[in-house]
């Protein structure tokens, strides 16, 4: 072993201290001050479990009615609102909605609807770029204790394979992490949001690829989920694999399945399974659906507040929102 002088030892010691400080600084900069995921669970900024119980709201298409409805939504004990938005709309208008949700103690989940059913990886990446613009990054940093980002609504039709879905989202995740976004990223399943198999097959690979290991997957349940045994089996499979999951949209058996979505799904089974597995869910949708989808309105379109049959089920059935929702601890501490 070579003998080193005192000055050399001192020099090495200084270098070591600098390197340790540098590493500590780097670790601090990549630690999320927002939501995180671990062992299949979503945790809020305080590190406390947060189980989503919420609804989708069409802010992109009905700006003022949706904004005004937020107080009525909060009155039904909703703890999370999935904000339907589009990349053509200015971030400044979005901040107004986010602040309102925070004031009403509801977590805002932002999603872009521009690529619904699209199969272009470049289109998907363009939505990630919306969230990494300077204005959006500044806003996300300001509200990082409260906001969840759902990059794209239902990107990928039934032709999109699991590997293509995974590779396309890897590029989006890399872009957002390189831009400095550290909080949880929500990723919809392909197959118009309904194909859970790619999440099962490639979800863990995507989580490991993410530098923050901080992803929440989202499944939408309509006509592809008409078999209630499949609901229970697949949700349990995801849970057993410790993959964080939220049911980001779901419907019900309207008109005995004779509807535009061929939907005969057992909504009570979905809500009960989510309750049993500590998973979140977000019902579609407050109101504002077009004529063929009007059966999915939770409240009457005429006044944006009177509950429909569907709304009563979502909010007040045994495993409904008002009976199971708990506010995020970032609000209860205030």
Strand partners, 53: 281
Options 68, 86, 249, 300, the catalytic residue: 249
Asked whether the beta carbons of 299 and 76 are under 8 A apart, the reply is no
Options 68, 144, 154, 178, the catalytic residue: 154
- CA-to-CA separations, 247 to 1, 164, 235, 328, in angstroms, rounded: 62, 22, 10, 18
- Cis amide prior to 126 (ω within 30 degrees): no
Radius of gyration of the chain (CA): 21
Asked whether the beta carbons of 57 and 83 are under 8 A apart, the reply is yes
Sign of CA dihedral 94, 53, 235, 284: negative
Q: Residue 165: name the closest of 226, 209, 105 by CA.
A: 209
Rounded to 5 degrees, what are φ and ψ at 210? -65, 125
Determine whether 135 is an active site residue: no
Determine whether 167 is an active site residue: no
Q: How far apart are CA 310 and CA 318, in angstroms?
A: 14
- Catalytic residues, by residue number, are 154, 249
């Amino acid at each position: 072993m070579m003998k080193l002088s005192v000055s050399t030892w001192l020099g090495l010691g200084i270098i070591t201290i600098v390197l340790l400080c540098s590493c500590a600084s780097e670790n601090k900069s990549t630690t999320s001050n927002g939501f995180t995921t671990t062992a299949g669970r979503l945790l809020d900024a305080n590190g406390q479990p947060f189980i989503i119980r919420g609804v989708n709201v069409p802010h992109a298409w009905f700006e003022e009615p949706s904004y005004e409805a937020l107080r009525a939504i909060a009155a039904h004990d909703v703890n999370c609102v999935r904000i339907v938005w589009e990349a053509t709309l200015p971030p400044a208008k979005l901040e107004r909605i986010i602040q309102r949700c925070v004031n009403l103690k509801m977590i805002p989940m932002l999603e872009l609807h521009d690529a619904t059913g699209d199969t272009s990886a470049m289109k998907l990446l363009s939505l990630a770029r919306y969230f990494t613009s300077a204005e959006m990054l500044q806003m996300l940093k300001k509200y990082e204790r409260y906001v969840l980002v759902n990059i794209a609504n239902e990107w990928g039709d039934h032709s999109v394979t699991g590997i293509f879905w995974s590779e396309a989202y890897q590029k989006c995740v890399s872009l957002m992490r390189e831009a400095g976004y550290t909080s949880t990223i929500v990723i919809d399943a392909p197959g118009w949001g309904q194909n859970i198999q790619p999440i099962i097959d490639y979800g863990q690979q995507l989580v490991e690829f993410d530098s923050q290991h901080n992803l929440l997957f989202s499944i939408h349940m309509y006509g592809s989920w008409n078999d209630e045994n499949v609901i229970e089996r697949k949700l349990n499979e995801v849970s057993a694999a410790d993959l964080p999951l939220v049911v980001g949209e779901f419907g019900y058996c309207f008109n005995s399945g004779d509807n535009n979505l061929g939907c005969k799904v057992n909504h009570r089974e979905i809500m009960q399974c989510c309750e049993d597995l500590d998973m979140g869910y977000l019902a579609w949708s407050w109101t504002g659906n077009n004529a063929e989808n009007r059966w999915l309105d939770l409240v009457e379109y005429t006044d944006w507040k009177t509950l429909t049959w569907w709304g009563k089920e979502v909010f007040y059935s045994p495993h409904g929102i008002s009976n199971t929702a708990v506010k995020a601890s970032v609000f209860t501490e205030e």
